[in-house]
Amino acid sequence: MIITMNNNDNRGLFGKYLVLKRDKNGKWIEKKTQCFVLSPDKKDAYGLASRQALLEYAKIIRKRNKILAVELEHWVELINRRNKEHEQYLT
């Protein structure tokens, strides 16, 4: 679970989200490590950069976790297809 703490995207890298995860008992706890959140669904430069980052991540982790790599590539493909269909609908 990610809770937005600040919605100003133009300040650079800073603590914008509180990230929670479930422990072994199902209780929500704060994740104490730093995270960087990508937004691949966006239709702007941030979305494009997020999709490119996901594809690069998939390429690097493929040997260690092929299922995750394939799922990330498929997700990006679906988003790209949906964005292309949306653009065709608008023109």
For residue range 77-86, list pLDDT tens digits in order: 999 999 887 6
Asked whether residue 1 falls in the same domain as residue 24, the answer is yes
Asked whether residue 28 falls in the same domain as residue 55, the answer is no
Q: Which pLDDT score is estimated for 37?
A: 87
Domain, as residue range, for 12: 1-37
pTM, 2 dp: 0.74
pLDDT at 90 over 80: no
Asked whether residue 24 falls in the same domain as residue 1, the answer is yes
Give Cβ neighbours of residue 72 (< 8 Å, ≥ 6 apart).
Answer: 54, 55, 57, 58
Asked whether residue 21 falls in the same domain as residue 55, the answer is no
